A and B are shown apart, each in its own frame.
Chain A
Amino acid sequence: MAAALALTFFYAPVDEDGLNQKIFYIHVPIAFASYALFAWGGWKALRHLWKREEGADLESYVAIHLGVIFGVLTLVTGSIWAKYRWGHWWVWSEDQLVLFLVLFLFYCAYFMLRYSLAPGPQRANLSAVYALFGVVLVPISVLAIRLSERFIHPVAFDKGGPNMAASQFATFCVAVLAVLTLAATLYHLELAGKRLDERLRDLREALQ
């Protein structure tokens, strides 16, 4: 993260967009991390339903929980950037924004479903099915900007490759790697805590 921040502020040049372009190096990697976490949650949900993999339900839950946190960050950082660039906190006519909001709200509802059911196989199965449905929205949200006919939202990548200088692209790659590593670390940290919590509960029941 330190390397990504150093490259962002001291290496990547300020282009014609101005200093606000520096937001790109945090906003987009966070959005990518959010997509990756939702996809990972969906993959673990599939493993739970298909292979009955032990612990896959918990892994799916933790991935979606973190995905929602990164989703909040994506929406907040995007809104601040939008306020400066477009003069509005939110633009409802932009498919990319609305689809990401739909994806985010869909996964927020995952927690309502999960906590409305008693812990057990039924909750795990229903949560997994719901998480899998949400994964369909991930590629739609990613591709929305290319499917959309309006282009207020900037296009960083097109068929010809990245629309930026080599130094900007290198900084972006480091930033993506840093944020994905951070997301993976937080995922393992939260997962370890949840597993420890479960084991302690089992141990308490066995001792009492």
Chain B
Amino acid sequence: MSTEEKYVAAVYLVVFVVLLAYVFIIALKLQRLQRELAELAELAVKQRDVERKAVAVG
């Protein structure tokens, strides 16, 4: 590989790596949001059950 080819490859590699890192960070964030959504759904179900029990007792 000539010096010129190395420079061209370096430029395209830098762009690829930075964009890959960006997409990876976004993917991690979406995973966290999915986890949070599952937690909130669980919390909502628990609250609904508590409210139903309270209505039944009342």
Contacts and interface: CB of A to CB of B under 8 A. Distances in A.
B15 interface: yes
A81 B4 CA distance: 10
Interface residues of A, number: 29
Contacts, number: 63
A73 B29 CA distance: 22
A81 B15 contact: no
B14 A69 contact: no
A196 B33 contact: yes
B26 A23 contact: no
A179 to B, nearest CB: 9
Q: Which of B4, B11, B23, B43 has the most CB of A within 10 A?
A: B11
Q: Interface SS of chain A: helix, strand, loop or mixed?
A: helix
B37 interface: yes
Given A189-B26, A197-B33, A200-B33, A20 B8 contact: yes
Interface in B20-54: 22-23, 26, 29-30, 33, 36-37, 40, 43-44, 47
Contact of A203 (B5, B18, B26, B40): B40
B33 A204 contact: no
Nearest to A201: B36
A80 interface: yes
B8 A72 contact: no
A84 B7 CA distance: 7
Contact of A69 (B3, B5, B7, B22): B22
Interface of B: 2-5, 7-8, 10-12, 14-15, 18-19, 22-23, 26, 29-30, 33, 36-37, 40, 43-44, 47
Q: Which 3 pairs between the two chains have the least Cβ-Cβ distance?
A: A84-B7, A77-B11, A23-B11
Interface of A: 18-20, 22-23, 26-27, 30, 69, 72-73, 76-77, 80-81, 83-84, 182, 186, 189-190, 193, 196-197, 200, 203-204, 207-208
